[in-house]
Chain A
Amino acid sequence: MDRIERETSQSIKLQRVLRRTLLRNKHSLFFATIALVLCVVAVEGKLTDRQGRGAQFENPFFDLEIAPDIRSSLR
């Protein structure tokens, strides 16, 4: 019972802190969301050594293999 009460009071405290900081107005929420997303992108980019593949026209799910007889008929 004590554990439940303690957790509930901690949750209420966290909500209050959030209301006073991030959820105070739309601007703080907006900047917090963008900052969080940028941090996640930066950390994930560092961890996975992400490389842009936009210009290479790669599709790992696609390999077009046309049979020779069909290829000749398409010419």
Chain B
Amino acid sequence: MDNLAAGPRTIRRWRGLLLREIRENRSLLLYAPCLLVLVAILLGMRLFTLLTLERQKAGLELLFNRFEGLNASDVAPLLTSAGALNLLFIIGIATSYLASSLYADRKEQSYFFWQSMPISDRSTILSKVVTAVVMIPGIYMGVLTAGSLMLIIGVAGYSFSLGVELNGLQELFAAMLVALGFIGLSAFIAMLWLLPAVGWVLLFSAYASRVPLLWAIGVLVALSLLEEIVLGSNTIDTWIASRSSPWQYLVFSFEDMAARLLSYDMLFGAALGAMLITGATLMRRFAD
């Protein structure tokens, strides 16, 4: 009977933990993606309006005619590559969130309140990891999808008002949806791929008494330099290089997901991230 009640109770607790993260980091998790997408759309519109009306019309005709008759999955990789910049925004938001998450708890002393609640340190830290790996890409992709839909409707309406034939609109729309799916999966894979970085930043967020992100970057650079000078090797540099190429986590096909998720590099990175996250969890027992 207890086991039956434990399931919904765990779900309720996790929902509460994740909602707490959204409420406490509303500006970073909700407003920042909205502003970034809005600024990108406005910038694109501003650049487009710099063209003369004839060139605008020619450009829109070119856009719709090129997509006419094309298969969405064939052209989606091109749109995905163009949208890869969004991954940088997602990683930037996640890094900023992780660096401030445990540090802000200690600084505002809300840490003592949460320690008095019947929630383990492990659950608290895991909720922050889930927020960074799943929630931030998910929220960002929701905002990006809404922005893209509004943009394509706006472009179609404007083209129609200029008398441009919307021949390839259906194909363009399908390619955009597939590309958004690729970008969303890329963001999720990227966060899993960067799990050691997630753990590293969390460890410094739990440890540093000031500017945790600068400490996290500074110590990594110092260790790399020290290794080069003392040992004459570059293991840390090699490790960073093997994790930093976006080509390792850009998704252009839905078929190889199992191979990606269960690849040796992914699993080893997850194990290393788990060590660092365990260190951050144990660090919670020491109050400043």
Tell me the A residues contacting B by CB distance below 8 Å. 23, 25-26, 29-30, 32-34, 36-38, 40-42, 44-45, 50-59, 61-62, 64, 66-67, 70, 73-74
Q: How far is the CA of A51 from the CA of B240 in the complex (A)?
A: 10
Given contacts A59-B250, A64-B77, A70-B75, contact A45 B207 (CB under 8 A): no
Map CB proximity to A onto B250-288 as digits: 1 under 8 Å, 0 otherwise.
111100100110000000100010011011001101100
Given contacts A26-B207, A29-B286, A33-B203, contact A58 B75 (CB under 8 A): no
Rounded to whole angstroms, the CA-CA distance of A70 and B247 in the bound complex is 24
List of A residues within 8 angstroms of B282 by Cβ: 23, 29
Q: Which residue of B lies closest to A18 (CB)?
A: B282
Task: Give complex CA distance A41, B244 in Å.
Answer: 16
Q: How far is the CB of A52 from chain B (nearest CB, A)?
A: 3
Q: Does B161 contact A (CB under 8 A)?
A: no
- Structural contact, A41 and B236, CB atoms closer than 8 A: yes
- Which A residues are in CB contact (< 8 Å) with B241? 52-55
Pair count A-B, CB < 8 A: 98
CA distance A33 to B278 in the complex (A): 9
Tell me the dominant secondary structure on chain B's binding face. helix
Q: How far is the CA of A35 from the CA of B260 in the complex (A)?
A: 29
Contacts of A45 in B (CB 8 A): 235, 238-239
Contact of B283 among A30, A57, A61, A70 (CB under 8 A): A30
User: How long is the Cα–Cα vector from A45 to B241 in the complex, in angstroms?
Assistant: 13
CA distance A67 to B66 in the complex (A): 15
Q: How many of chain B's residues have a CB under 8 angstroms from any CB in A?
A: 41
* A40-B70 Cα distance, complex, nearest whole Å: 49
B74 pairs with A70, CB closer than 8 A: yes
Q: Which A-chain residue is minimally distant from B257 (CB atoms)?
A: A61
Question: B248 touches which one: A41, A50, A59, A74 (CB < 8 A)?
Answer: A59
Query: In whole Å, how far is A61's beta carbon from the nearest beta carbon of chain B?
Result: 5
**Docked pose: A44 CA to B145 CA in angstroms:** 40
Q: B273's closest neighbor in chain A, by CB?
A: A37
Q: Could you pull out 22 A-B pairs where Cβ atoms are within 8 angstroms? A: A25-B286, A29-B283, A29-B286, A33-B275, A33-B278, A34-B219, A37-B275, A38-B236, A41-B272, A50-B235, A51-B238, A52-B238, A52-B239, A54-B245, A55-B241, A56-B245, A57-B245, A61-B256, A62-B247, A62-B250, A70-B74, A73-B70
